[in-house]
């Protein structure tokens, strides 16, 4: 038996602290803690890392505060196209969906693809139809829409038309949610879910549903979920690069994760972040932006959540 570990992120595109009322930041942290508790209850009952990651991400998808599920970014034509993936480090099995429009919780569809489709990735209407056949909850596309995303899209599009209302921040464009876990059997898993970025071209697929780019898990090495401009993460096969550095160059998770976020992505001027756990249960959550919603539960069952630099105790699991 190993001690279970769970960590999550809610995207590296966090707004400056002064832009939201304190009560709203309190709610963001409460949702992070709720997501951690959902995953932890799976791990505590002896459930798998895969199941715990799914349970954690579902809560973040249902929260309006994060760019995944309800609250997801809008495409250029004001639709939602969602991407998600899940990977089991014990078997290297993985499942993903991309550009789906009707699945309430895309991470559940990623798990269904992994377990029941014989494929790794299902796209667009085929992904939606598969999820429906699997009996997953389906919603209208506008169910994902929140006033904040509508306003951000309008601002971006007004800016492009030459009448910028205010500069577009990383937070208006970006976000993603993800989780990593090690279960009592020592198995690792990672999952990621996103709406991509506001004003993305229809049909655009980011790193989040691509195994190796935004998500990767391998027992004995690490589990990783990334956030930031996906195109760069795809080109660097970022999540797998962390595992490869650990396997072949014997870097620690801290060295490999820090290199990706603070050296590589920073050099490209890319806002980036990730959460990761290694086989020993060490958690890393580096980011190079103003903030990254994040949280973890350590082996003693203590919850910690944060949006900017300050880390808050959020009680016991
Ligand atoms: N990685 C996501 C994507 O490119 C977005 C983000 O995390 O900000 O779709």
**CA 200, CA 151: separation in Å to the nearest integer?**
15
Q: Mean pLDDT over all residues of the chain?
A: 94
CB 114 within 8 A of CB 94: yes
According to the model, what pLDDT value does residue 311 have?
95
Flag whether pLDDT at 167 surpasses 60.
no
176 is catalytic: yes
Ligand 1 near 208 CB (within 6 A): yes
Ligand 1 near 212 CB (within 6 A): no
CB 226 within 8 A of CB 214: yes
Q: Which of 56, 176, 227, 289 is catalytic?
A: 176
**CA 261, CA 268: separation in Å to the nearest integer?**
10
Give the model's confidence band at 266: pLDDT under 50 very low, under 70 low, under 90 confident, else very high.
confident
Give the model's confidence band at 209: pLDDT under 50 very low, under 70 low, under 90 confident, else very high.
very high
- Out of 97, 227, 238, 294, give the residue to mutate to test ligand 1, the one with the largest number of ligand atoms within 8 Å of its CB: 227
HSE at residue 219, side-chain half, CA atoms within 13 A, is 14
Give the position, in ligand 1's atom list, of the atom nearest the Cα of 271: 8
Residues 94-139: tens digit of each pLDDT: 999 999 999 999 999 999 999 999 999 999 999 999 999 999 999 9
Flag whether pLDDT at 171 surpasses 80.
no
What topology is assigned to 5-310 in CATH?
Answer: 3.60.20
According to the model, what pLDDT value does residue 164 have?
55
Count of residues in the chain: 317
Give the model's confidence band at 174: pLDDT under 50 very low, under 70 low, under 90 confident, else very high.
low
Flag whether pLDDT at 173 surpasses 80.
no
Q: Under 8 Å CB-to-CB from 6, ≥6 apart: which residues?
A: 36, 39, 40, 43, 52, 56, 179, 180, 181, 296, 297
Tell me the β-bridge partners of 257. none
Give the model's confidence band at 210: pLDDT under 50 very low, under 70 low, under 90 confident, else very high.
very high
* Distance from the alpha carbon of residue 4 to the mean position of ligand 1, in angstroms: 27
According to the model, what pLDDT value does residue 300 have?
82
Ligand 1 near 75 CB (within 6 A): no
Reported as type and span, the H/E element at residue 40 is helix 22-44
CA dihedral of residues 18, 23, 28, 33 (deg, nearest 10): 130
CA dihedral of residues 197, 199, 203, 209 (deg, nearest 10): 0
* Distance from the alpha carbon of residue 174 to the mean position of ligand 1, in angstroms: 6
pTM for the full predicted model: 0.96
* Distance from the alpha carbon of residue 185 to the mean position of ligand 1, in angstroms: 31
Q: Under 8 Å CB-to-CB from 289, ≥6 apart: which residues?
A: 12, 13, 14, 170, 271, 272, 273
Judged by DSSP in three states, 291 sits in strand
CB 6 within 8 A of CB 40: yes
- DSSP codes of every residue in 113-162: HHHHTS-SEEEHHHHHHHHHHTT--B--GGGG--HHHHHHHHHHHHHHTT
Tell me how far CA of residue 18 lies from CA of 13, 14, 171, in angstroms: 15, 11, 13
Outline where DSSP puts E strands in 126-197: 177-182, 188-194
According to the model, what pLDDT value does residue 175 have?
80
Tell me the β-bridge partners of 277. 223, 283
Residues 193-206: tens digit of each pLDDT: 999 999 999 999 99
| φ, ψ (nearest 5 deg) of residue 302 | -85, 130
* Distance from the alpha carbon of residue 286 to the mean position of ligand 1, in angstroms: 16
Closest by Cα among 137, 177, 207 to 36: 177
According to the model, what pLDDT value does residue 88 have?
98
Closest by Cα among 178, 208, 12 to 100: 208
């Amino acid at each position: 038996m190993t001690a279970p570990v769970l960590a999550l992120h809610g995207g590296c595109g966090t707004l400056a602290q002064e832009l939201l009322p304190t009560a709203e930041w309190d709610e963001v942290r409460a949702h992070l803690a709720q997501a951690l508790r959902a995953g932890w209850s799976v791990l505590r009952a002896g459930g798998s890392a895969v199941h715990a990651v799914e349970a954690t991400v579902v809560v973040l998808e249902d929260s309006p505060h994060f760019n995944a599920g309800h609250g997801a970014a809008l495409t250029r034509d004001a639709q939602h196209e969602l991407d998600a993936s899940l990977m089991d480090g014990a078997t290297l099995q993985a499942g993903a969906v991309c550009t789906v429009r009707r699945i309430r919780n895309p991470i559940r569809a990623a798990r269904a693809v992994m377990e029941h489709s014989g494929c790794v990735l299902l796209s667009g209407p085929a992904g939606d139809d598969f999820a429906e056949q699997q009996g997953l909850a389906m919603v209208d596309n506008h169910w994902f829409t929140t006033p904040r995303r509508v306003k951000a899209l309008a601002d971006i599009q007004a800016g492009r038309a030459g009448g910028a209302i205010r500069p577009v921040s990383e937070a208006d464009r970006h976000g993603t949610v993800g989780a990593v876990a090690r279960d009592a059997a020592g198995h690792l898993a990672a999952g990621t879910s996103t709406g991509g970025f506001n004003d993305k071209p229809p049909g655009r697929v980011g790193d989040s549903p691509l195994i190796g780019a935004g998500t990767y898990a391998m027992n004995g090495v690490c589990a990783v979920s990334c956030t930031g401009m996906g195109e760069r993460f795809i080109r660097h096969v970022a999540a797998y690069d962390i595992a490869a550095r650990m396997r072949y160059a014997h870097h620690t998770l801290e060295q490999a994760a820090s290199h990706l976020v603070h050296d590589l992505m920073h050099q490209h001027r890319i806002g980036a972040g990730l959460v990761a756990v290694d086989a020993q249960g060490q958690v890393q959550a580096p980011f190079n932006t103003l903030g990254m919603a994040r949280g973890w539960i350590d082996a003693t069952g203590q919850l910690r959540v944060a949006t900017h630099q300050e880390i808050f105790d959020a009680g016991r699991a």
